[in-house]
Amino acid sequence: MALKQAIAVAALQEAAGEVINKSVCEVPGGWLALVNTGDGKRLAVAAQGEAPLCAMLKEAEQKAEVKGVQVTIAALNANNAAVVRRFVKWAAPSACGTRGASVGFSDWLGEADAFAAELFTKRQLKPVLVDYTAEDSAALQRNFLEAVDTATWGVLEAGCREGYGANAAGLKTEEDIVKALLYGYSMIGFDCSDKINLSIEKLSDVEVEKRFEEFNETFRAAVNASYLNAEFKVGNSKLSFEETQLHRIILEYGEAIMHVQFIYNSYLKNTPWDIDFELSLSKPGKLLTPQEHYLIANELERNGIKLAAVCLDTLNEDAALAENLQLHCDIASAFEYRLSLGNADIGLADPALVMKYTKGKVHFKLNNILWLSAVKLIAANDAELYAKLAEAGGISPAPVENLCGTEAGRALALSYKKALNPKEAGLAAAVKEFLAAHKAEYAEAVRNDVSSFLKKI
């Protein structure tokens, strides 16, 4: 006879401590839950006999028997997070696909995933609880596996059974892509901006044509035949290419397009599970035009590359988006992928308009919101620590009410790498200690700030 939930929970409470009720879930041979013990949060399993997953747990701190029920209590470590993801499918990241809206978070401190996850219960929105770059990993001294493990524990604690995503964003090397795949990330964000040749921007039209003539005749003829003397319908708009404009795009983005094809075919084409492939095209000092966007998307589709999203950073692309938002949304729709908008919490003026133009097929990256929730709480309660954070950001401490939608707030949001990097300001330990002492207030701040954004869409 299968072990009943009530009996399992009673055994866990007697042997381990306070059971976090939302985390209770059935696994083969028993029940699993997070518990609050005198030594902190732990993973606990109740089984009649030995549940298969118990043999896989490491750092099993305690085993007990309560009225014939075997209870195993184990640490929240990387091995055990992987075991949870194997046996509790909704605790593992899953792909978002190309339909519907999703909202991504960057939890630099690993303290807010549970608070954010619970806001998506019964919503037609999917949370992406990890949006993490190799640059973040190096600056914060926190690896990719730690980030997805934190999300695993957060989702389990919140009982968020509807699913969540994890994005290894802005990857540039094959090594980082392999690591992200091994760690179970559901979205691979590839940044090909290093392959975009910005020097072409400075060339005259005559110089562009001279460079284009260096390609072989067959290639030149194929490019011209594909894009010149034609109109391309996207949504209710039409796009066309002028000759020198087209040749300039080929020179500027040709290497990037070829590199994306190599990466996709080498690592992402035949994965045994669904993976979202997000392509980042933003580069500081360069605004993506509709013609560039269309040509890149068209060439990738022609070569069998299945994009889930094209990422534009709203801090770099705000001018281009403001002028051509409808067109960029229509291009994404035409090629059946979503727009992914980076820094949407501090760089996007009207999320509702994006939802309208994309018909709800969009990914909003709230890269800064969890960090800013912490900063605002610190500003209201710890003047000394707030002054140090402001100093790391190179600004004077602004009143807490001036941290939303202001340059001061944006500067503090973007200074997290300096503030938390142990080789620079090194304030991570102090901030985490503060948040541990103000856990309830931080949870409420995250709920309020995230809910405020969700209401806009």
| Token couple for 322 | 């403001």
Q: How confident is the model at residue 386 (pLDDT cuts 50, 70, 90)?
A: very high
At 284 the pLDDT is 77
Q: Can you read off the two tokens belonging to residue 287?
A: 């605004």
Residues 233-278 pLDDT 10s: 998 889 999 999 999 999 999 999 999 999 999 999 989 889 999 9
Q: What element of type H or E holds 64?
A: strand 60-66
Q: Which residue has the higher pLDDT, 359 or 398?
A: 359
Residue 173 has pLDDT above 90, yes or no: yes
Domain ranges for the chain, please list them.
5-77, 369-456
Of all helices (H) and strands (E), which one includes residue 44? strand 40-47
Which helix (H) or strand (E) element contains residue 117?
helix 113-117
pLDDT at 292 over 70: yes
Rounded Cα gap, residues 104 and 366, in angstroms: 6
pLDDT at 283: 78
Whether 398 has a pLDDT exceeding 80, the answer reads: no
Residue 224's pLDDT band (boundaries 50, 70, 90)?
A: very high
Burial of 261 by CB count in 10 Å (0-12 exposed, 13-18 middle, 19+ buried)? middle
User: Can you give the pLDDT at residue 1?
Assistant: 57
Stretch 372-392: mean pLDDT? 94
Give the per-residue pLDDT at 299. Answer: 97
Looking at residue 402, its pLDDT comes to 63
The predicted-structure confidence for 123-144, as pLDDT tens digits, reads as follows 889 999 999 999 999 888 889 9
Compute the average pLDDT of residues 327-335: 94
Distances, alpha carbon 442 to alpha carbons 105, 142, 339, 374, in Å: 16, 21, 30, 7
pLDDT score of 78 more than 60: yes
pTM (2 d.p.): 0.93
Residue pLDDT, tens place only, 403-434: 666 777 888 888 999 999 999 999 999 999 99
The per-residue pLDDT for 5 is 95
Please report, as a single letter, which amino acid is at residue 109.
Answer: L
